Amino acid sequence: MTTEAAFIAALRAIATAPAARGLADDAAVLDVGGSRLVLTMDAIVEGVHFLRDDPADSVAWKLVATNVSDLAAKGAVPRGCLLTYPLAADPDWDAVFLRGLEEAVRHFAIPLLGGDTVRQPEGSPRSFSLVALGEPEAGVAVPSRGGARSGDRLWLSGPVGDAGLGLAVLRGERHTAPEHRAVLAERYRRPSPRPMLGAALAPHVHAMMDVSDGVLIDAARLAAASEVAAVVELGQLPLSRAFVETVGDSLPERLFAAGAGDDYCLLFAAPPEADAMLERIAAWHRNSLYPVGRVMGGRGLSLLYQDDPVPLPGRLGFQH
């Protein structure tokens, strides 16, 4: 089976336009007559990104949110989206999906501009794709995964592990209190990216991306794109109360949280002199920011826990 990384590597020979950014980023950046447009497309597939019995409105929400998350990582304000929708023999499911879609595009202020409908073969897994368009602030560089520098701090814009644990709870692999089950399931089904936070951070970071596949694998990607080494302090990863009270707060649980994926918070590298500005941005947006590591000279990813080195796990995060 062709891996995702191998297929993308092969595509780079085709996607040679500057706007493609070498297929090494969360989105393309197109210059049109002096104006810039950020473009991204994410697909979600039943059995891979959502469960067969997930509510249709939450599937629609997740489709929109994952694309908005890519825009947030580029500091782009959402401007519109295009939907590809497979019609199945279930008009009730379609109707609930549409309600969720309307809720999501209104919440994220990303108007639906068009798209395509197709017929889905009976009994096949559902799959959906969305193209999202955003606009960066004039005069501000669109942050890429590359650009992190030795001496930078690594930051996260939200807790990790909840979505992965929520998936495990929904599958019956973990058990928790009802109030925690509701929180964790919501984190898995309905991510909450913050595009305006991303736009505020963009002028002050050296590199930024969203955490979709797991902090470890995404930190490794940021380090590789920047040609530096990244150190993640596992003890500093932000964990929610629902997570800790369900599985605990020791090293194995923190490794799980770091590799679970579907968190859709921002991972970014910024110089220490930006700390005061980051604090002000966090206050303005009522969103905590968490220092979780640092950037060094060299290559690769390394882990620490309570100042001790930790071997890299065999699996850093999700890969298709």
Summarize pLDDT for 269-314 with one digit per residue, the tens: 999 999 999 999 999 999 999 999 999 999 999 999 999 999 999 8
Co-location of 31 and 107 in the same domain:
yes
CA–CA separation, 261 and 242 (whole Å): 17
- Given 136, 164, 181, the domain boundary residue is 136
Co-location of 159 and 107 in the same domain:
no
Co-location of 170 and 239 in the same domain:
yes
Co-location of 30 and 162 in the same domain:
no
Residue 145 domain-assigned (yes or no): no
Q: What are phi and psi of 132, to 5 degrees?
A: -120, 140
Residue 297 domain-assigned (yes or no): yes
Residue 147 domain-assigned (yes or no): no
Co-location of 21 and 90 in the same domain:
yes
| CB-CB contact of 187 with 238 (8 Å) | no
- Given 95, 111, 136, the domain boundary residue is 136
Co-location of 162 and 261 in the same domain:
yes
Structure tokens at 287: 């969103």
Co-location of 16 and 110 in the same domain:
yes
Residue 141 domain-assigned (yes or no): no
Helix, strand, coil percentages, rounded to 5, for the chain: 40, 25, 35
Structural domain that includes position 301: 153-310
Residue 88 domain-assigned (yes or no): yes
Co-location of 75 and 209 in the same domain:
no
CA–CA separation, 115 and 8 (whole Å): 24
CA–CA separation, 317 and 127 (whole Å): 22
Say which residue the tokens 């060299």 belong to: 298
Co-location of 163 and 306 in the same domain:
yes
Co-location of 194 and 106 in the same domain:
no
What CATH number does residue 80 fall under?
3.30.1330.10
Co-location of 93 and 206 in the same domain:
no
Residue 120 CB neighbours (<10 A): 16
Give the E-state strand segments of 61-173 in sequence order: 76-87, 112-119, 127-136, 153-156
CA–CA separation, 256 and 272 (whole Å): 28
Task: Kindly list the distances between the CA atom of residue 173 and the CA atoms of 55, 279, 310, 320, in Å, as whole numbers in the listed order.
Answer: 20, 38, 26, 21
Residue-wise pLDDT tens for the chain (320 aa)? Answer: 678 788 888 988 898 888 888 888 889 999 988 889 999 999 999 888 888 889 999 999 999 999 999 999 999 999 999 999 999 888 999 999 999 999 999 999 999 999 999 988 888 889 999 999 999 999 999 999 999 999 999 999 999 999 999 999 999 999 999 999 999 999 999 999 999 999 999 999 999 999 999 999 999 999 999 999 999 999 999 999 999 999 999 999 999 999 998 999 999 999 999 999 999 999 999 999 999 999 999 999 999 999 999 999 988 876 65
- Number of structural domains the chain divides into: 2
Return the SS3 of 98: helix
Return the SS3 of 112: strand
